[in-house]
Protein backbone atom coordinates (compact mmCIF):
# COMPACT_ATOMS: atom_id res chain seq x y z
CA UNK A 1 0.00 0.00 0.00
CA UNK A 2 1.68 3.23 -1.16
CA UNK A 3 1.44 6.66 0.45
CA UNK A 4 -1.14 8.00 -2.02
CA UNK A 5 -3.39 5.00 -1.42
CA UNK A 6 -3.07 5.44 2.33
CA UNK A 7 -3.97 9.12 2.10
CA UNK A 8 -6.98 8.30 -0.07
CA UNK A 9 -8.18 5.65 2.37
CA UNK A 10 -7.77 8.00 5.33
CA UNK A 11 -9.97 10.56 3.59
CA UNK A 12 -12.66 8.04 2.66
CA UNK A 13 -15.57 7.58 5.02
CA UNK A 14 -16.79 3.98 5.35
CA UNK A 15 -18.69 1.82 7.75
CA UNK A 16 -16.57 -0.85 9.37
CA UNK A 17 -16.70 -4.19 7.51
CA UNK A 18 -19.26 -6.42 9.30
CA UNK A 19 -16.62 -9.13 9.64
CA UNK A 20 -14.52 -6.78 11.79
CA UNK A 21 -17.33 -5.49 14.00
CA UNK A 22 -17.33 -8.43 16.50
CA UNK A 23 -13.59 -7.90 17.03
CA UNK A 24 -13.93 -4.23 18.03
CA UNK A 25 -13.66 -3.87 21.81
CA UNK A 26 -12.58 -1.32 24.38
CA UNK A 27 -9.19 -2.27 25.84
CA UNK A 28 -8.76 -0.31 29.06
CA UNK A 29 -6.41 2.63 28.51
CA UNK A 30 -6.04 1.89 24.78
CA UNK A 31 -9.68 2.56 24.02
CA UNK A 32 -11.37 0.91 20.99
CA UNK A 33 -9.20 -1.79 19.38
CA UNK A 34 -9.76 -4.24 16.53
CA UNK A 35 -8.14 -7.64 17.11
CA UNK A 36 -9.27 -9.75 14.16
CA UNK A 37 -7.17 -12.77 13.07
CA UNK A 38 -6.09 -10.84 9.96
CA UNK A 39 -6.28 -7.19 11.01
CA UNK A 40 -5.22 -5.35 14.16
CA UNK A 41 -5.99 -1.69 14.76
CA UNK A 42 -5.06 -0.41 18.19
CA UNK A 43 -6.69 2.80 19.43
CA UNK A 44 -9.06 2.54 16.49
CA UNK A 45 -11.33 5.39 15.41
CA UNK A 46 -13.84 5.63 12.52
CA UNK A 47 -11.51 7.55 10.21
CA UNK A 48 -9.46 4.34 9.98
CA UNK A 49 -12.39 2.19 8.82
CA UNK A 50 -11.55 2.40 5.11
CA UNK A 51 -7.93 1.46 5.78
CA UNK A 52 -8.69 -1.61 7.90
CA UNK A 53 -11.40 -2.68 5.46
CA UNK A 54 -8.84 -2.54 2.65
CA UNK A 55 -6.35 -4.51 4.77
CA UNK A 56 -8.94 -7.19 5.37
CA UNK A 57 -9.72 -7.50 1.63
CA UNK A 58 -6.01 -7.69 0.76
CA UNK A 59 -5.26 -10.30 3.44
CA UNK A 60 -8.17 -12.53 2.36
CA UNK A 61 -7.07 -12.41 -1.27
CA UNK A 62 -3.49 -13.16 -0.25
CA UNK A 63 -4.65 -16.09 1.89
CA UNK A 64 -6.49 -17.59 -1.07
CA UNK A 65 -3.39 -17.21 -3.24
CA UNK A 66 -1.14 -18.77 -0.57
CA UNK A 67 -3.52 -21.72 -0.20
CA UNK A 68 -3.60 -22.32 -3.96
CA UNK A 69 0.21 -22.21 -4.08
CA UNK A 70 0.66 -24.46 -1.01
CA UNK A 71 2.64 -21.57 0.46
CA UNK A 72 2.07 -22.42 4.10
CA UNK A 73 4.63 -19.96 5.43
CA UNK A 74 2.77 -17.03 3.85
CA UNK A 75 -0.57 -18.47 4.89
CA UNK A 76 0.49 -18.55 8.54
CA UNK A 77 2.28 -15.19 8.58
CA UNK A 78 -0.60 -13.33 6.96
CA UNK A 79 -2.39 -13.85 10.28
CA UNK A 80 -1.78 -11.55 13.21
CA UNK A 81 0.71 -12.94 15.72
CA UNK A 82 -1.70 -14.33 18.37
CA UNK A 83 -3.57 -16.27 15.66
CA UNK A 84 -0.61 -17.78 13.81
CA UNK A 85 -0.54 -21.01 15.77
CA UNK A 86 -4.23 -21.51 14.95
CA UNK A 87 -3.46 -20.93 11.27
CA UNK A 88 -0.67 -23.49 11.61
CA UNK A 89 -3.19 -26.03 12.90
CA UNK A 90 -5.46 -25.35 9.93
CA UNK A 91 -2.83 -26.39 7.39
CA UNK A 92 -0.43 -28.68 9.25
CA UNK A 93 -1.90 -31.87 7.77
CA UNK A 94 -1.14 -30.51 4.30
CA UNK A 95 2.56 -29.96 5.05
CA UNK A 96 5.51 -32.27 4.58
CA UNK A 97 7.15 -33.49 7.79
CA UNK A 98 10.11 -31.18 7.25
CA UNK A 99 7.85 -28.18 6.66
CA UNK A 100 5.83 -29.04 9.76
CA UNK A 101 8.84 -28.82 12.06
CA UNK A 102 10.47 -25.88 10.32
CA UNK A 103 7.31 -23.75 10.44
CA UNK A 104 6.48 -24.87 13.98
CA UNK A 105 9.91 -23.68 15.09
CA UNK A 106 9.45 -20.34 13.35
CA UNK A 107 6.01 -19.92 14.91
CA UNK A 108 7.42 -20.70 18.37
CA UNK A 109 10.22 -18.15 18.03
CA UNK A 110 7.79 -15.54 16.69
CA UNK A 111 5.13 -16.10 19.35
CA UNK A 112 4.68 -13.81 22.34
CA UNK A 113 1.91 -15.81 23.99
CA UNK A 114 3.19 -19.38 24.41
CA UNK A 115 1.79 -19.54 27.93
CA UNK A 116 -1.69 -18.59 26.73
CA UNK A 117 -2.10 -21.76 24.64
CA UNK A 118 -0.17 -24.45 26.54
CA UNK A 119 -2.33 -27.39 25.45
CA UNK A 120 -2.01 -26.45 21.77
CA UNK A 121 1.77 -26.16 21.91
CA UNK A 122 2.02 -29.34 23.95
CA UNK A 123 0.11 -31.32 21.33
CA UNK A 124 2.14 -29.90 18.44
CA UNK A 125 5.54 -30.34 20.10
CA UNK A 126 4.76 -33.93 21.10
CA UNK A 127 4.03 -34.89 17.50
CA UNK A 128 5.60 -38.18 16.36
CA UNK A 129 6.19 -36.86 12.84
CA UNK A 130 9.75 -37.57 11.63
CA UNK A 131 12.45 -35.03 10.68
CA UNK A 132 12.09 -33.12 13.93
CA UNK A 133 15.63 -31.79 13.53
CA UNK A 134 14.22 -29.40 10.89
CA UNK A 135 12.88 -27.28 13.75
CA UNK A 136 16.44 -25.92 14.18
CA UNK A 137 18.93 -24.36 11.79
CA UNK A 138 22.37 -25.88 11.15
CA UNK A 139 24.11 -23.70 13.73
CA UNK A 140 21.64 -24.60 16.46
CA UNK A 141 21.89 -28.28 15.63
CA UNK A 142 25.68 -28.10 15.87
CA UNK A 143 25.59 -26.27 19.22
CA UNK A 144 23.13 -28.76 20.67
CA UNK A 145 25.22 -31.68 19.42
CA UNK A 146 28.27 -30.25 21.23
CA UNK A 147 26.49 -30.10 24.60
CA UNK A 148 26.89 -32.78 27.23
CA UNK A 149 24.38 -35.60 27.44
CA UNK A 150 22.97 -34.05 30.65
CA UNK A 151 22.12 -30.37 30.29
CA UNK A 152 21.46 -28.02 33.25
CA UNK A 153 18.45 -25.81 32.46
CA UNK A 154 16.69 -22.90 34.12
CA UNK A 155 13.29 -21.30 33.90
CA UNK A 156 12.16 -17.94 35.18
CA UNK A 157 8.48 -17.60 36.09
CA UNK A 158 6.25 -16.40 38.91
CA UNK A 159 4.63 -18.09 41.85
CA UNK A 160 1.36 -17.86 39.96
CA UNK A 161 2.40 -19.19 36.55
CA UNK A 162 5.10 -21.35 35.02
CA UNK A 163 5.93 -22.26 31.45
CA UNK A 164 6.26 -25.99 31.01
CA UNK A 165 8.29 -26.00 27.80
CA UNK A 166 10.61 -23.02 27.52
CA UNK A 167 13.92 -23.33 29.41
CA UNK A 168 17.36 -21.81 29.02
CA UNK A 169 20.94 -22.82 29.70
CA UNK A 170 21.56 -19.22 30.85
CA UNK A 171 20.69 -18.76 34.53
CA UNK A 172 20.97 -14.96 34.34
CA UNK A 173 18.47 -14.86 31.47
CA UNK A 174 16.05 -17.06 33.43
CA UNK A 175 16.25 -14.71 36.41
CA UNK A 176 15.61 -11.77 34.08
CA UNK A 177 12.44 -13.44 32.81
CA UNK A 178 11.30 -14.19 36.37
CA UNK A 179 11.55 -10.51 37.31
CA UNK A 180 9.94 -9.42 34.05
CA UNK A 181 6.93 -11.70 34.52
CA UNK A 182 6.70 -10.68 38.17
CA UNK A 183 6.44 -7.03 37.22
CA UNK A 184 3.50 -7.62 34.88
CA UNK A 185 1.71 -10.31 36.88
CA UNK A 186 2.08 -8.90 40.41
CA UNK A 187 3.33 -12.27 41.63
CA UNK A 188 6.70 -13.12 43.25
CA UNK A 189 9.55 -14.11 40.88
CA UNK A 190 10.67 -17.74 40.96
CA UNK A 191 13.67 -19.53 39.45
CA UNK A 192 13.32 -23.24 38.66
CA UNK A 193 16.39 -25.27 37.77
CA UNK A 194 16.81 -28.85 36.70
CA UNK A 195 18.48 -31.15 34.22
CA UNK A 196 17.35 -32.60 30.93
CA UNK A 197 18.93 -35.38 28.90
CA UNK A 198 19.97 -34.20 25.47
CA UNK A 199 17.97 -36.98 23.84
CA UNK A 200 14.82 -35.39 25.30
CA UNK A 201 15.48 -31.89 23.99
CA UNK A 202 12.99 -30.98 21.29
CA UNK A 203 14.81 -27.85 20.14
CA UNK A 204 17.58 -25.42 20.96
CA UNK A 205 17.03 -21.85 19.75
CA UNK A 206 19.54 -19.01 19.72
CA UNK A 207 17.97 -16.45 17.37
CA UNK A 208 16.47 -14.36 20.20
CA UNK A 209 19.65 -14.45 22.27
CA UNK A 210 17.99 -16.58 24.95
CA UNK A 211 19.91 -19.88 24.60
CA UNK A 212 16.49 -21.51 24.76
CA UNK A 213 15.92 -25.20 25.35
CA UNK A 214 12.48 -26.52 24.42
CA UNK A 215 11.71 -29.61 26.46
CA UNK A 216 8.64 -31.26 27.93
CA UNK A 217 8.45 -30.37 31.62
CA UNK A 218 7.96 -34.09 32.37
CA UNK A 219 11.47 -34.70 31.03
CA UNK A 220 13.17 -32.04 33.15
CA UNK A 221 14.41 -33.89 36.24
CA UNK A 222 15.64 -32.89 39.72
CA UNK A 223 13.67 -29.67 39.56
CA UNK A 224 14.22 -27.19 42.35
CA UNK A 225 12.41 -23.87 42.65
CA UNK A 226 13.76 -20.84 44.51
CA UNK A 227 11.94 -17.62 45.30
CA UNK A 228 13.88 -14.59 44.13
CA UNK A 229 14.00 -11.21 45.82
CA UNK A 230 11.63 -8.87 43.96
CA UNK A 231 13.22 -5.90 42.24
CA UNK A 232 11.80 -2.44 42.63
Tens digits of per-residue pLDDT, 120-150? 999 999 999 999 999 999 999 999 999 999 9
Q: What is the pLDDT of residues 175-224, one digit of tens each?
A: 998 888 888 777 889 999 999 999 999 999 998 888 999 999 899 998 89
DSSP state of 69: T
| Domain boundaries of the chain, sorted by first residue | 3-125, 136-227
CA distances 198 to 151, 160, 171, 210, 220, Å, are 7, 29, 18, 18, 10
Query: Looking at the DSSP assignment, which residues form a beta bridge with residue 35?
Result: 40
CA-CA distance, 101 to 210, in Å (whole number)?
A: 20
DSSP state of 231: P
User: pLDDT grade, residue 232 (50/70/90)?
Assistant: low
Between CA 221 and CA 217, with CA 117 as vertex, the angle to 5 degrees is 5
Q: Under DSSP, is residue 174 helix (H, G, I), strand (E, B) or coil?
A: helix
Amino acid sequence: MNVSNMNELLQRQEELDPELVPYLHNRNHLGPCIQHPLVYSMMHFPALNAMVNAQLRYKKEALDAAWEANDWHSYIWLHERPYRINAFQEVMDLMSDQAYWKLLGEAWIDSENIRQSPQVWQELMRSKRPEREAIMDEGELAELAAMSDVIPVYQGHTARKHDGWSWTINRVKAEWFAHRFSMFESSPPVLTEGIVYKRNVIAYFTSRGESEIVADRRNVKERKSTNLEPKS
